[in-house]
Amino acid sequence: MLYTKNIPGWERVLRIVIGILGLGLAYESWGTFNLGVGLGIAGAMLAMTGLIGFCPMCAMFGRRLGGNH
């Protein structure tokens, strides 16, 4: 199943960078910081939506790429 991209290029780059940083923080604090698992999940989700270019939550709220729809 193919999805229409709903994330602009600049936001995709930002999501990938923040996602990788979140995964790095989760890796560094795994076992010592209680929110390490949460950081890992959030970082993975941000990086995946950035790589794919589609965010299901944005689609639920009717966000589309380009133009005012």
DSSP characters for 30-61? Answer: TTTSTTHHHHHHHHHHHHHHHHH---HHHHHT
Say if 29 falls within a structural domain.
yes
Residue that is written with structure tokens 């600049």 in the block: 10
Per-residue pLDDT averaged across 11-19, rounded? 95
| Cα 18–Cα 21–Cα 24 angle in degrees, nearest 5 | 155
- Tally the domains of the chain: 1
pTM of the model: 0.82
Say if 17 falls within a structural domain.
yes
Say if 22 falls within a structural domain.
yes
Check whether 2 has a pLDDT greater than 80.
no
Q: What is the pLDDT of residue 63?
A: 82
Longest CA pairwise span in the chain (Å): 46
Check whether 12 has a pLDDT greater than 80.
yes
pLDDT in tens, 26-69: 998 877 777 888 889 999 999 999 999 999 888 888 888 765 44
Say if 60 falls within a structural domain.
no
Query: By residue range, what is the domain housing residue 34?
Result: 9-52
Say if 44 falls within a structural domain.
yes
